[in-house]
A and B are shown apart, each in its own frame.
Chain A
Amino acid sequence: MYSTKYIKPNSTSEALEAIKSMGEGKFLAGGMTLIPTLKQRLASPDGLVDISGCDLDSISDEVDAIKIGAMTKHASVGESGLVKKAIPALAKLADGIGDRQVRNRGTLGGSVANNDPSACYPSAVLALKAIVHTNTRSIEADEFFTGMFETLLEENEIIEAISFSKPAKANYVKFPNPASRYAMVGVFVAQFNDGVRVAVTGAGEGGVFRHAEMEAALSSNYNADALSALEISSEGLISDLHASPEYRANLIKEMTKRAVV
Protein backbone atom coordinates (compact mmCIF):
# COMPACT_ATOMS: atom_id res chain seq x y z
CA MET A 1 0.00 0.00 0.00
CA TYR A 2 1.05 3.54 -0.68
CA SER A 3 -0.17 6.44 1.38
CA THR A 4 -0.82 10.01 0.36
CA LYS A 5 -2.27 13.03 2.08
CA TYR A 6 -5.84 14.03 1.19
CA ILE A 7 -7.35 17.41 2.01
CA LYS A 8 -10.80 18.70 1.08
CA PRO A 9 -11.04 22.45 1.74
CA ASN A 10 -14.17 24.59 1.52
CA SER A 11 -12.86 27.45 -0.60
CA THR A 12 -10.28 28.11 -3.28
CA SER A 13 -8.22 30.25 -0.91
CA GLU A 14 -8.06 27.36 1.57
CA ALA A 15 -7.17 25.05 -1.31
CA LEU A 16 -4.26 27.30 -2.26
CA GLU A 17 -3.04 27.34 1.35
CA ALA A 18 -3.25 23.56 1.46
CA ILE A 19 -1.30 23.00 -1.74
CA LYS A 20 1.43 25.40 -0.65
CA SER A 21 1.92 23.32 2.50
CA MET A 22 2.81 20.33 0.33
CA GLY A 23 6.09 19.87 -1.50
CA GLU A 24 4.52 18.59 -4.64
CA GLY A 25 0.78 18.54 -4.28
CA LYS A 26 -1.88 18.12 -6.92
CA PHE A 27 -5.36 19.57 -7.21
CA LEU A 28 -7.97 16.87 -7.57
CA ALA A 29 -11.06 17.73 -9.63
CA GLY A 30 -13.13 14.77 -10.84
CA GLY A 31 -10.07 12.52 -10.84
CA MET A 32 -10.94 10.84 -14.12
CA THR A 33 -7.35 11.15 -15.32
CA LEU A 34 -5.40 11.73 -12.13
CA ILE A 35 -6.72 8.76 -10.12
CA PRO A 36 -5.94 6.14 -12.81
CA THR A 37 -2.50 7.75 -13.13
CA LEU A 38 -1.92 7.42 -9.38
CA LYS A 39 -3.15 3.82 -9.40
CA GLN A 40 -0.58 3.02 -12.04
CA ARG A 41 2.10 4.82 -10.01
CA LEU A 42 2.84 7.07 -12.96
CA ALA A 43 2.72 10.01 -10.59
CA SER A 44 3.27 10.14 -6.85
CA PRO A 45 2.43 13.57 -5.45
CA ASP A 46 2.90 14.34 -1.76
CA GLY A 47 -0.77 15.04 -1.40
CA LEU A 48 -4.10 15.73 -3.06
CA VAL A 49 -6.24 18.81 -2.57
CA ASP A 50 -9.81 17.92 -3.53
CA ILE A 51 -11.54 21.09 -4.74
CA SER A 52 -15.02 19.56 -4.99
CA GLY A 53 -16.09 21.34 -1.80
CA CYS A 54 -15.11 24.81 -3.02
CA ASP A 55 -18.52 25.74 -4.42
CA LEU A 56 -17.42 25.87 -8.04
CA ASP A 57 -20.32 24.08 -9.69
CA SER A 58 -22.95 26.63 -10.62
CA ILE A 59 -24.23 27.44 -14.11
CA SER A 60 -25.40 30.98 -14.81
CA ASP A 61 -26.67 33.08 -17.70
CA GLU A 62 -24.53 36.16 -18.33
CA VAL A 63 -26.58 37.58 -21.25
CA ASP A 64 -23.92 37.12 -23.95
CA ALA A 65 -22.39 34.05 -22.37
CA ILE A 66 -23.09 31.01 -20.23
CA LYS A 67 -20.78 30.79 -17.24
CA ILE A 68 -20.09 27.31 -15.91
CA GLY A 69 -18.27 26.57 -12.67
CA ALA A 70 -15.08 24.54 -13.07
CA MET A 71 -16.28 21.67 -10.90
CA THR A 72 -19.54 21.22 -12.82
CA LYS A 73 -19.83 17.62 -13.92
CA HIS A 74 -20.31 16.68 -17.57
CA ALA A 75 -23.69 15.15 -16.72
CA SER A 76 -24.88 18.45 -15.15
CA VAL A 77 -23.84 20.44 -18.23
CA GLY A 78 -25.59 17.91 -20.47
CA GLU A 79 -28.78 18.17 -18.41
CA SER A 80 -28.78 21.91 -17.82
CA GLY A 81 -31.82 23.70 -19.22
CA LEU A 82 -29.80 26.92 -19.49
CA VAL A 83 -27.04 25.31 -21.53
CA LYS A 84 -29.48 23.35 -23.70
CA LYS A 85 -31.37 26.51 -24.54
CA ALA A 86 -28.44 28.87 -25.16
CA ILE A 87 -25.75 26.52 -26.54
CA PRO A 88 -27.27 23.11 -27.28
CA ALA A 89 -24.01 22.00 -28.96
CA LEU A 90 -22.21 22.34 -25.61
CA ALA A 91 -24.79 20.16 -23.84
CA LYS A 92 -24.45 17.61 -26.64
CA LEU A 93 -20.66 17.61 -26.27
CA ALA A 94 -20.87 17.07 -22.50
CA ASP A 95 -23.37 14.23 -23.02
CA GLY A 96 -20.97 12.43 -25.34
CA ILE A 97 -17.90 12.39 -23.10
CA GLY A 98 -16.73 8.95 -21.93
CA ASP A 99 -19.44 6.83 -20.34
CA ARG A 100 -22.10 7.53 -17.70
CA GLN A 101 -19.65 6.93 -14.85
CA VAL A 102 -17.15 9.40 -16.26
CA ARG A 103 -19.86 11.99 -16.91
CA ASN A 104 -21.01 11.73 -13.30
CA ARG A 105 -17.51 12.33 -11.93
CA GLY A 106 -15.51 14.22 -14.56
CA THR A 107 -15.54 18.01 -14.51
CA LEU A 108 -15.26 20.85 -16.99
CA GLY A 109 -12.30 22.45 -15.22
CA GLY A 110 -10.45 19.17 -14.83
CA SER A 111 -10.73 18.40 -18.51
CA VAL A 112 -9.70 21.89 -19.63
CA ALA A 113 -6.77 22.16 -17.21
CA ASN A 114 -5.47 18.73 -18.29
CA ASN A 115 -5.74 19.66 -22.00
CA ASP A 116 -5.53 16.09 -23.20
CA PRO A 117 -5.04 16.27 -26.98
CA SER A 118 -8.08 14.01 -27.45
CA ALA A 119 -10.45 15.58 -24.92
CA CYS A 120 -13.74 17.07 -26.16
CA TYR A 121 -14.09 20.19 -23.99
CA PRO A 122 -11.03 22.13 -25.21
CA SER A 123 -12.63 22.35 -28.67
CA ALA A 124 -15.73 24.05 -27.22
CA VAL A 125 -13.59 26.46 -25.21
CA LEU A 126 -11.68 27.46 -28.33
CA ALA A 127 -14.61 27.60 -30.76
CA LEU A 128 -16.94 29.45 -28.38
CA LYS A 129 -14.44 32.26 -27.63
CA ALA A 130 -14.55 31.21 -24.00
CA ILE A 131 -12.92 33.08 -21.16
CA VAL A 132 -11.18 30.93 -18.54
CA HIS A 133 -11.54 32.53 -15.11
CA THR A 134 -8.91 31.48 -12.58
CA ASN A 135 -8.27 32.56 -9.00
CA THR A 136 -5.94 35.29 -10.32
CA ARG A 137 -7.03 36.31 -13.83
CA SER A 138 -9.24 35.81 -16.87
CA ILE A 139 -7.64 34.19 -19.91
CA GLU A 140 -8.97 34.19 -23.46
CA ALA A 141 -9.32 30.80 -25.11
CA ASP A 142 -6.97 31.70 -27.96
CA GLU A 143 -4.17 32.21 -25.44
CA PHE A 144 -5.07 29.48 -22.98
CA PHE A 145 -3.98 26.27 -24.74
CA THR A 146 -0.23 26.19 -25.33
CA GLY A 147 0.50 22.58 -26.36
CA MET A 148 -0.19 18.94 -25.68
CA PHE A 149 -1.19 18.74 -21.99
CA GLU A 150 -0.01 22.34 -21.62
CA THR A 151 -1.90 25.49 -20.80
CA LEU A 152 -1.13 29.00 -19.63
CA LEU A 153 -2.03 27.94 -16.05
CA GLU A 154 0.75 28.52 -13.53
CA GLU A 155 1.62 26.10 -10.73
CA ASN A 156 -1.08 26.37 -8.08
CA GLU A 157 -3.52 28.32 -10.25
CA ILE A 158 -7.11 27.08 -10.11
CA ILE A 159 -9.73 27.41 -12.84
CA GLU A 160 -12.87 28.69 -11.14
CA ALA A 161 -15.25 29.01 -14.06
CA ILE A 162 -15.43 29.24 -17.83
CA SER A 163 -17.69 31.63 -19.78
CA PHE A 164 -18.78 30.36 -23.19
CA SER A 165 -20.02 33.00 -25.65
CA LYS A 166 -23.43 32.31 -27.09
CA PRO A 167 -23.11 31.65 -30.81
CA ALA A 168 -25.76 32.19 -33.48
CA LYS A 169 -25.34 28.54 -34.35
CA ALA A 170 -22.99 25.78 -33.24
CA ASN A 171 -22.46 22.06 -33.46
CA TYR A 172 -20.00 19.44 -32.23
CA VAL A 173 -19.40 16.19 -34.06
CA LYS A 174 -16.79 13.64 -33.10
CA PHE A 175 -15.54 10.33 -34.38
CA PRO A 176 -15.11 8.54 -31.05
CA ASN A 177 -12.67 5.80 -30.28
CA PRO A 178 -15.03 2.84 -29.83
CA ALA A 179 -13.44 1.80 -26.53
CA SER A 180 -12.63 5.01 -24.68
CA ARG A 181 -15.06 7.40 -26.44
CA TYR A 182 -12.18 9.86 -26.67
CA ALA A 183 -12.32 11.90 -29.86
CA MET A 184 -10.18 10.39 -32.59
CA VAL A 185 -11.21 13.60 -34.25
CA GLY A 186 -13.77 16.04 -32.89
CA VAL A 187 -14.81 19.28 -34.54
CA PHE A 188 -16.63 22.16 -32.87
CA VAL A 189 -18.07 24.68 -35.32
CA ALA A 190 -19.52 27.94 -34.03
CA GLN A 191 -21.06 30.72 -36.09
CA PHE A 192 -20.91 34.25 -34.68
CA ASN A 193 -21.97 37.54 -36.26
CA ASP A 194 -18.36 38.33 -37.05
CA GLY A 195 -17.44 34.95 -38.52
CA VAL A 196 -17.18 31.21 -38.01
CA ARG A 197 -14.78 29.46 -35.65
CA VAL A 198 -13.74 25.85 -36.18
CA ALA A 199 -11.82 24.07 -33.42
CA VAL A 200 -10.39 20.59 -33.93
CA THR A 201 -9.53 18.16 -31.13
CA GLY A 202 -8.10 14.64 -31.14
CA ALA A 203 -6.03 15.34 -34.21
CA GLY A 204 -3.23 17.82 -33.54
CA GLU A 205 0.08 16.85 -31.98
CA GLY A 206 0.02 20.13 -30.10
CA GLY A 207 -3.52 19.51 -28.85
CA VAL A 208 -6.65 21.42 -29.84
CA PHE A 209 -6.30 23.95 -32.67
CA ARG A 210 -8.37 26.27 -34.88
CA HIS A 211 -8.55 25.52 -38.57
CA ALA A 212 -8.05 28.81 -40.40
CA GLU A 213 -8.87 27.56 -43.93
CA MET A 214 -12.16 26.00 -42.90
CA GLU A 215 -13.05 29.08 -40.86
CA ALA A 216 -12.49 31.29 -43.92
CA ALA A 217 -14.49 28.99 -46.20
CA LEU A 218 -17.41 28.74 -43.77
CA SER A 219 -17.38 32.44 -42.90
CA SER A 220 -18.10 33.31 -46.53
CA ASN A 221 -20.52 30.43 -47.07
CA TYR A 222 -21.94 28.48 -44.12
CA ASN A 223 -22.56 25.30 -46.04
CA ALA A 224 -20.92 21.88 -46.13
CA ASP A 225 -20.38 22.33 -49.89
CA ALA A 226 -18.05 25.24 -49.14
CA LEU A 227 -15.57 22.67 -47.78
CA SER A 228 -15.59 20.30 -50.75
CA ALA A 229 -12.69 21.91 -52.58
CA LEU A 230 -10.47 22.18 -49.48
CA GLU A 231 -7.43 19.94 -49.08
CA ILE A 232 -6.86 19.27 -45.39
CA SER A 233 -3.14 18.95 -44.64
CA SER A 234 -1.98 16.01 -42.52
CA GLU A 235 1.07 17.96 -41.34
CA GLY A 236 1.38 17.96 -37.54
CA LEU A 237 -1.47 15.50 -37.01
CA ILE A 238 -1.29 12.66 -34.48
CA SER A 239 -0.11 9.26 -35.63
CA ASP A 240 -0.94 6.37 -33.31
CA LEU A 241 -2.23 2.82 -33.38
CA HIS A 242 -5.77 4.07 -34.03
CA ALA A 243 -5.22 6.23 -37.08
CA SER A 244 -2.62 7.73 -39.39
CA PRO A 245 -2.26 11.49 -39.90
CA GLU A 246 -3.81 11.16 -43.38
CA TYR A 247 -6.83 9.32 -41.98
CA ARG A 248 -7.25 12.02 -39.34
CA ALA A 249 -7.00 14.76 -41.99
CA ASN A 250 -9.85 13.10 -43.84
CA LEU A 251 -11.87 12.82 -40.61
CA ILE A 252 -11.39 16.53 -39.91
CA LYS A 253 -13.09 17.40 -43.18
CA GLU A 254 -15.79 14.78 -42.78
CA MET A 255 -16.65 15.72 -39.18
CA THR A 256 -16.76 19.41 -40.11
CA LYS A 257 -19.11 18.71 -43.00
CA ARG A 258 -21.39 16.80 -40.66
CA ALA A 259 -21.24 19.61 -38.10
CA VAL A 260 -22.37 22.26 -40.58
CA VAL A 261 -26.11 21.83 -40.81
Chain B
Amino acid sequence: MEIKDSYELPLPKERVWAALNDEQFLKKSIPWCEKLERRSETELAAEVKLKIGPMSTRFTGNITLSDIDPPNGYTITGSGKGGIAGAASGSARVKLIEDKDTLSTTLSYEVSAQVKGKIAQLGSRLIQSTAKKLSKNFFGSFVKQLEDMDKS
Protein backbone atom coordinates (compact mmCIF):
# COMPACT_ATOMS: atom_id res chain seq x y z
CA MET B 1 0.00 0.00 0.00
CA GLU B 2 1.42 3.33 -1.00
CA ILE B 3 -0.02 6.77 -0.49
CA LYS B 4 1.52 9.83 -2.07
CA ASP B 5 0.63 13.47 -2.18
CA SER B 6 2.21 16.89 -2.14
CA TYR B 7 1.49 20.43 -1.02
CA GLU B 8 2.91 23.73 -2.09
CA LEU B 9 3.71 26.24 0.64
CA PRO B 10 4.51 29.93 0.13
CA LEU B 11 7.38 29.65 2.62
CA PRO B 12 11.14 29.10 2.50
CA LYS B 13 12.34 25.58 3.11
CA GLU B 14 13.99 26.38 6.46
CA ARG B 15 10.68 27.51 7.94
CA VAL B 16 8.93 24.31 6.90
CA TRP B 17 11.81 22.20 8.18
CA ALA B 18 11.73 23.95 11.55
CA ALA B 19 8.03 23.19 11.87
CA LEU B 20 8.60 19.55 10.96
CA ASN B 21 10.87 19.34 13.99
CA ASP B 22 8.64 21.22 16.39
CA GLU B 23 6.66 18.87 18.60
CA GLN B 24 3.93 21.43 19.20
CA PHE B 25 3.35 21.57 15.47
CA LEU B 26 3.39 17.81 15.20
CA LYS B 27 1.03 17.35 18.11
CA LYS B 28 -1.58 19.60 16.56
CA SER B 29 -1.17 17.83 13.22
CA ILE B 30 -1.46 14.22 14.36
CA PRO B 31 -5.17 13.37 14.24
CA TRP B 32 -6.66 12.77 17.72
CA CYS B 33 -3.26 13.10 19.39
CA GLU B 34 -3.79 13.43 23.12
CA LYS B 35 -0.20 13.42 24.26
CA LEU B 36 3.15 13.94 22.61
CA GLU B 37 6.39 14.15 24.55
CA ARG B 38 9.90 14.45 23.26
CA ARG B 39 12.16 11.70 24.59
CA SER B 40 15.27 12.54 22.59
CA GLU B 41 16.40 14.26 19.40
CA THR B 42 14.75 11.59 17.32
CA GLU B 43 12.15 10.01 19.59
CA LEU B 44 8.77 11.09 20.85
CA ALA B 45 6.19 9.27 22.94
CA ALA B 46 2.60 9.57 21.74
CA GLU B 47 -0.92 8.74 22.79
CA VAL B 48 -3.58 8.78 20.13
CA LYS B 49 -7.26 8.03 20.40
CA LEU B 50 -8.32 6.76 17.04
CA LYS B 51 -12.02 6.89 16.20
CA ILE B 52 -13.17 5.38 12.96
CA GLY B 53 -16.82 4.59 12.62
CA PRO B 54 -17.83 2.34 15.50
CA MET B 55 -14.23 1.66 16.54
CA SER B 56 -12.61 3.73 19.20
CA THR B 57 -9.22 2.65 20.43
CA ARG B 58 -6.45 4.35 22.36
CA PHE B 59 -3.00 3.72 20.98
CA THR B 60 0.18 4.32 22.92
CA GLY B 61 3.45 4.26 21.11
CA ASN B 62 6.46 5.99 19.70
CA ILE B 63 7.20 8.37 16.94
CA THR B 64 10.73 8.22 15.57
CA LEU B 65 12.50 10.44 13.10
CA SER B 66 15.10 8.86 10.84
CA ASP B 67 16.96 9.43 7.55
CA ILE B 68 17.31 12.99 8.76
CA ASP B 69 18.68 15.27 6.07
CA PRO B 70 18.23 18.88 7.20
CA PRO B 71 16.55 20.82 5.73
CA ASN B 72 15.54 18.50 2.91
CA GLY B 73 13.45 15.91 4.68
CA TYR B 74 13.17 12.91 6.97
CA THR B 75 11.18 9.79 7.60
CA ILE B 76 8.64 9.99 10.38
CA THR B 77 7.47 6.65 11.74
CA GLY B 78 4.71 6.07 14.22
CA SER B 79 3.91 2.75 15.78
CA GLY B 80 1.43 2.03 18.49
CA LYS B 81 -0.31 -0.71 20.40
CA GLY B 82 -4.03 -0.55 20.93
CA GLY B 83 -4.27 -3.26 23.56
CA ILE B 84 -6.56 -6.11 22.57
CA ALA B 85 -7.50 -4.34 19.34
CA GLY B 86 -4.09 -4.88 17.78
CA ALA B 87 -1.28 -2.72 16.58
CA ALA B 88 -0.79 -0.16 13.87
CA SER B 89 2.23 1.49 12.35
CA GLY B 90 2.84 3.91 9.60
CA SER B 91 5.75 5.81 8.21
CA ALA B 92 5.98 8.79 5.93
CA ARG B 93 8.98 9.82 3.87
CA VAL B 94 8.79 13.61 3.75
CA LYS B 95 10.69 15.65 1.17
CA LEU B 96 11.02 19.40 0.86
CA ILE B 97 11.95 21.02 -2.42
CA GLU B 98 12.39 24.77 -2.61
CA ASP B 99 11.69 26.94 -5.60
CA LYS B 100 14.37 29.65 -5.33
CA ASP B 101 12.51 32.11 -7.59
CA THR B 102 9.24 32.20 -5.70
CA LEU B 103 10.67 31.20 -2.30
CA SER B 104 8.02 28.56 -2.01
CA THR B 105 8.46 24.97 -0.90
CA THR B 106 6.86 21.80 -2.11
CA LEU B 107 6.26 19.27 0.63
CA SER B 108 5.76 15.78 -0.73
CA TYR B 109 5.16 12.60 1.20
CA GLU B 110 4.95 8.88 0.68
CA VAL B 111 3.20 6.85 3.33
CA SER B 112 3.19 3.16 4.05
CA ALA B 113 1.07 1.63 6.80
CA GLN B 114 0.55 -1.74 8.43
CA VAL B 115 -2.01 -3.03 10.91
CA LYS B 116 -2.02 -6.21 12.93
CA GLY B 117 -4.45 -8.06 15.12
CA LYS B 118 -8.20 -7.64 15.30
CA ILE B 119 -8.25 -4.28 13.59
CA ALA B 120 -6.66 -5.94 10.59
CA GLN B 121 -9.23 -8.76 10.53
CA LEU B 122 -12.23 -6.52 10.88
CA GLY B 123 -11.13 -3.48 9.05
CA SER B 124 -9.19 -4.89 6.13
CA ARG B 125 -11.53 -3.37 3.57
CA LEU B 126 -11.00 0.04 5.15
CA ILE B 127 -7.30 0.16 5.91
CA GLN B 128 -6.20 1.84 2.71
CA SER B 129 -8.95 4.46 2.82
CA THR B 130 -8.30 5.11 6.50
CA ALA B 131 -4.54 5.45 6.05
CA LYS B 132 -5.12 7.86 3.19
CA LYS B 133 -7.56 9.89 5.23
CA LEU B 134 -5.26 10.05 8.25
CA SER B 135 -2.30 11.09 6.09
CA LYS B 136 -4.39 13.82 4.51
CA ASN B 137 -5.53 14.97 7.96
CA PHE B 138 -1.97 15.07 9.24
CA PHE B 139 -0.32 16.91 6.37
CA GLY B 140 -3.42 19.02 5.72
CA SER B 141 -3.49 20.42 9.24
CA PHE B 142 0.30 20.74 9.31
CA VAL B 143 0.21 22.88 6.17
CA LYS B 144 -2.77 24.87 7.42
CA GLN B 145 -1.01 25.71 10.69
CA LEU B 146 2.00 26.96 8.78
CA GLU B 147 -0.14 29.06 6.46
CA ASP B 148 -2.09 30.52 9.37
CA MET B 149 1.15 31.40 11.15
CA ASP B 150 2.43 33.05 8.01
CA LYS B 151 -0.67 35.24 7.77
CA SER B 152 -0.63 36.43 11.34
Which residues in A have some Cβ–Cβ distance to B below 8 Å? 33-34, 36-37, 40-45, 114-118, 147-149, 205, 238-242
Asked whether, in the complex, the Cβ of B125 is within 8 Å of the Cβ of A43, the reply is no
Bound-state CA distance A147–B128 (Å) is 15
Within 8 Å of chain A (Cβ to Cβ): is B52?
yes
Sort chain B's interface into a size bin. 20 to 34
Q: Is the interface of B mostly helix, strand, loop or mixed?
A: helix
**Across the interface, do A240 and B125 meet the contact criterion of CB distance under 8 Å?**
yes
Measured between alpha carbons, how far is A25 from B85 in the docked complex, in Å? 19
Nearest Cβ distance between residue A65 and chain B, in whole angstroms?
28
In the complex, what distance in Å separates the CA atom of A148 from the CA atom of B130?
8
The answer on a CB contact under 8 Å between B57 and A43 is yes
Contact across chains for A42 and B128 when beta carbons are under 8 A apart: no
List residues 97-124 of chain B with CB under 8 A from any CB of chain A: 118-119, 122, 124
Complex alpha-carbon distance, A118 and B53, angstroms = 12
> What are 12 sample pairs from A and B whose C-beta atoms fall under 8 A apart?
A37-B54, A41-B118, A42-B85, A115-B53, A116-B53, A117-B126, A148-B129, A148-B133, A238-B125, A239-B128, A240-B125, A240-B128
User: In the assembled complex, which residues on chain A have CB atoms less than 8 Å from the CB atom of B119?
Assistant: 42
For the complex, give the distance between the alpha carbons of A34 and B53 in Å.
9
Does B84 lie within 8 Å of A241, measured CB to CB? no
Other-chain contact of A238, B83, B122, B129 (Cβ < 8 Å): B129
Given contacts A33-B54, A149-B52, A149-B53, contact A42 B129 (CB under 8 A): no
- Asked if B56 lies at the interface with its beta carbon under 8 angstroms from chain A, I say yes
| A180 shortest CB reach to chain B, Å | 9
Q: For the complex formed, measure the closest distance between the CB of B131 and the CB atoms of chain A, giving whole angstroms.
A: 10
Give Cα distance in the complex from A41 to B52, angstroms: 14
CB-nearest residue of chain A relative to B83?
A41
| Bound-state Cα–Cα, A27 to B58, Å | 20
Residues of B within 8 A of A242 (CB): 125
Closest approach, in angstroms, between the C-beta of B91 and any C-beta of chain A?
19
> How many Å lie between the Cα of A113 and that of B132 in the bound state?
22
Interface residue B149 (Cβ < 8 Å from any Cβ of A): no
When the two chains form their complex, are residues B133 and A114 in contact, meaning their CB atoms are under 8 A apart?
no
Instruction: Flag if B133 contacts A40 (CB, 8 Å).
Output: no
Contacting pair A42 B57 (CB below 8 A) = yes
